[in-house]
Amino acid sequence: MVPTAPLAISIGDPAGVGPELIAQAWCQREAAGLAPFFASGGATVLAAAAKSRGLSMPLVTITDAAEVMEAFRHGLPVLGEHDAEYHPGEPDTQGALFAIASLTHAARWAVDGTAAAIVTGPIAKSHLARQGFTQPGQTEFVADACGIAHHDAVMMLAGQSLRTVPLTVHAALADVPRLITQDLIIRRVRIVAASLERDFGLESPRIAITGLNPHAGEDGRMGTEDRDVIAPAIAALRAEGLTVSGPHPADALFAAHERGKYDVAICMYHDQALIPIKTLDFDQGVNVTLGLPIIRTSPDHGTAFGIAGRGTASAGATIAAIRMAGACAGHRAARL
């Protein structure tokens, strides 16, 4: 089923690769089968970024999202006057403030139903933090926009043959053992299971949970978290009827012969979840936030300031993120 409203896209840092990849996605909209989308501001940035990439992409300034469906056929619809100069590879204060404004508007449109989903362009967290962006990332920003507690907004990375969820996300590795609790595992796995059913159409998803330590602790000989925290949480989730396995030694779980045995791997920390996705599928990886009343996706890569404006950045992950937002919105619409 197609989404009932267009998708809103925030531009991300205008000095990064976000703007040119949005332009590229619009140019490939038909071949890629993308649902109609519109940009949250950034007319100047988008026009210059398209030009830098040699793309022919008209912009259509709109004043109401109701105009998107018609406008999308002729050019990239842009809603909102927030804008910036285009200085690829040179992040600055004005650009960071624009990135915040673009994200703020797009999130609001998703929350009030103007948009069926939000797709967020990459931001540089440290640059935005200097301009008052208080959340650790866009996941938490969007959670705040929805009035959802940060610990109930769950990051999932999705590639072509693998989905992973980092249980702890932007946390120092030294803090991870302390942060992993039975309550956190149970709470997040419930959200993952419900979201995979609702937004991805997976009945009774198979959920594999990694261990924290080498060999999942080898029965307490290499760390006790696997035995004393993760295993009891898995038992509790199974008792609820969820299809959960583990704790699995993380080193082998992502091998090709293992990946077909589960629908999602719950990982203990950021790099345990993101390294396999980015290694297997850098060009197609999508970051999707589960547990929200709205749908939010993003390419899994960052701002890539070093290659912005050169025309070499791949639009694969941005296109995959737009496609996934449309598919999830379609799943939700079909359940109404």
Ligand X SMILES: NCC(=O)COP(=O)(O)O
Distance CA 336, CA 332 (A): 7
Residue numbering of the annotated binding site for substrate = 139, 278, 287, 296
303 binds ligand X (CB under 6 A): no
- The listed partner (ligand NAI, ligand X, none) that binds 24, CB under 5 to 8 Å by sort, is none
Residue numbering of the annotated binding site = 139, 170, 215, 270, 278, 287, 296
298 binds ligand X (CB under 6 A): yes
Which of these segments, 92-100, 117-125, 188-196, 262-270, binds ligand NAI (CB under 6 A)? 117-125
- The listed partner (ligand X, ligand NAI, none) that binds 114, CB under 5 to 8 Å by sort, is none
- The listed partner (ligand X, ligand NAI, none) that binds 139, CB under 5 to 8 Å by sort, is ligand X
- The listed partner (ligand X, ligand NAI, none) that binds 213, CB under 5 to 8 Å by sort, is none
Between 213 and 298, CB nearer to ligand X: 298
Site string for ligand X, 126-155 (x = CB under 6 A): -----------xxx----------------
Between 93 and 181, CB nearer to ligand NAI: 93
171 binds ligand NAI (CB under 6 A): no
Q: At 20, list the tokens.
A: 């040119």
- The listed partner (ligand X, ligand NAI, none) that binds 297, CB under 5 to 8 Å by sort, is none
Q: Restricting to residues 178-217, which ones interact with ligand NAI according to CB under 6 A?
A: none
Site string for ligand X, 89-128 (x = CB under 6 A): ----------------------------------------
297 binds ligand X (CB under 6 A): no
When binding is defined by CB under 6 A, the residue of 48, 103, 116, 304 that contacts ligand NAI is 304
Which residue from 212, 195, 183 is spatially nearest to 296, judged by alpha carbons? 195
138 binds ligand NAI (CB under 6 A): yes
Which residue from 171, 170, 172, 11 is spatially nearest to 91, judged by alpha carbons? 11
Contact residues for ligand X, defined by CB under 6 A: 137-139, 274, 287, 298
